[in-house]
Amino acid sequence: MTDAAALAATHAACFTVPRPWSAAEFDDLLAGPGAFLLGNPRAFLLGRALAGEAELLTLAVDLALRRRGIARELLAEFADRAARLGAEEAFLEVAADNVAARSLYLRNGWVEAGLRPRYYGPATDAIVMRSRLETAQQGG
């Protein structure tokens, strides 16, 4: 059983924009089709793979654990899992002013694919990013 309250606590410590998600929201997302959770409650990635496309819904690493390569590892695991679930391409949205995350994604094979103006409120645009996934190997 996933500890949604612990996920929500880490998420709240990591995000003001977008607003933190509640434990109930995590439970709902995790119960949805194609959803998967990687990592642990202090450093996790929530993804979804459906109909040939994957979405990175959120990624959060506790402040005390940062700059150790954990997010990079979670991204690699995400790509692997999503490909195994049949996705050929992945998408995410990131706040335009989130320098750390944008740098992380750009350095790990993601490209900027669009802009959603004021997506996170009047002052904050979202950048849409895309990553092509390697076709999953058979039998793994």
Ligand X SMILES: CC(C)(COP(=O)(O)OP(=O)(O)OC[C@H]1O[C@@H](n2cnc3c(N)ncnc32)[C@H](O)[C@@H]1OP(=O)(O)O)[C@@H](O)C(=O)NCCC(=O)NCCS
The residues of the shown chain that bind ligand X, judged by CB under 6 A, are: 14-15, 59-61, 66-72, 94, 98-101, 103-104, 107
Pairing outcome for strands 89-95 and 111-116? unpaired
Nearer to ligand X, 17 or 50 (CB): 17
Nearer to ligand X, 69 or 139 (CB): 69
CB of 49 to ligand X, least distance (A): 17
Of 95, 78, 81, which Cα lies nearest the Cα of 43? 78
CB of 118 to ligand X, least distance (A): 17
Side-chain-side CA neighbours of residue 127 (13 Å): 17
Phi-psi region of 116 (alpha: psi -120 to 50; beta: other; left: phi over 0): beta
Nearer to ligand X, 17 or 30 (CB): 17
CB of 7 to ligand X, least distance (A): 13
Rg of the Cα atoms in the chain: 15
Nearer to ligand X, 40 or 98 (CB): 98
CB of 61 to ligand X, least distance (A): 4
Q: Is 138 helix (H, G, I), strand (E, B) or coil?
A: coil
CB of 50 to ligand X, least distance (A): 19
List the beta strands (DSSP E) in 7-107: 35-40, 43-50, 53-61, 89-95
Nearer to ligand X, 1 or 99 (CB): 99
